[in-house]
Amino acid sequence: MAAASNEQRLASHLAAPFTQPGRGRQPLSYRLLPEGGMVVISADGRKLWFTLDEVNAARAALKMPQASPPPKPPEHKEEDRKLNSALSGPLPRTRDGQSEMIVLPPDLKHLEEKINVKIRRP
């Protein structure tokens, strides 16, 4: 619960300069973003986006611990890219919508004979 109240204090502090007088100071909603920023919906319904730097400046003003940026994904070597592109190649063709010949094994040839017999009607 303390984390939620800290986030609410942070959201209120970030939205305060943008809040119109007489609308209240508490934001309607807020959410921390994966990259460390924050989205706040102010009391008058405006959506405000804040970057990691702006959020950290607000954290410093409120004497809260700083948020660190998310780790960057490792960069792929040029050799890995060439290998992946060579392996991927063109996409395999499918036979959707095309006819296909099915060959029955010798022990099921009697089924083929039954299918090929014309049905005689009286």
| HEC readout, 66-115 | CCCCCCCCCCCCHHHHHHHHHHHCCCCCCCCCCCCCCCCCHHHHHHHHHH
Q: Is 52 exposed, middle or buried (0-12, 13-18, 19+ CB in 10 A)?
A: middle
**What residues does each domain of the chain span?**
2-61
Side-chain half-sphere exposure of 67, counting CA atoms within 13 A: 21
pTM, full prediction: 0.55
- Residue by residue, pLDDT tens for the chain (122 residues) are 566 688 999 999 999 888 877 777 788 999 999 888 999 998 888 899 999 999 999 999 999 988 888 887 777 666 666 666 556 666 666 777 777 777 778 888 777 777 776 665 55
Distance, CA of 25 to CA of 42 (rounded, Å): 8
Amino acid at position 37, single letter: G
